[in-house]
Every structure is written in C-alpha cells, then in structure tokens.
Amino acid sequence: MKENTLSQIKKLNQGEAILTNINLLHDIHVHFEKTNRIHDNDTPLL
C-alpha cells in the first residue's frame, strides 16, 4: 500500500478491514455475500 493510504482511513479497529495482497504465491478468489444487516459505514473510499 502507499504510505499515505493508512492516514486516509479514519476508523481502523472499528470493524473496517483492509484487503491487500503482497507476494502471494497463488491467486485467491474472494466472494462476499451481501446481507440485509444495516451497517453504519462512514469509511472513506480510497
């Protein structure tokens, strides 16, 4: 990640996650299933 990326994320450790890959040996495929749960999400888009 770029050095200033972490400074742009306001609320780490409050449920937000950063997904990044560094030198992975194999490709991974991630699938997220949307839920009906209401999220109070104010994480900025990078």
Domain parsing of the chain, residue ranges: 1-25
Give pLDDT, residue 9.
62
Q: What is the mean pLDDT of residues 19-30?
A: 66
DSSP characters for 5-17? Answer: TGGG-S-TTTT--
Ramachandran region, residue 7 (left: φ > 0; alpha: ψ -120 to 50; beta: rest): alpha
Query: What type of residue is 21?
Result: N
Question: How crowded is the C-beta side of 15, counted as CA atoms within 13 Å?
Answer: 5
What rounded mean pLDDT belongs to the chain? 68
pLDDT at 19 over 80: no
- Entry pTM: 0.26
Give the residue, 10 or 7, on which the prediction is more confident: 7
pLDDT tens column, 32-44: 788 888 877 777 7
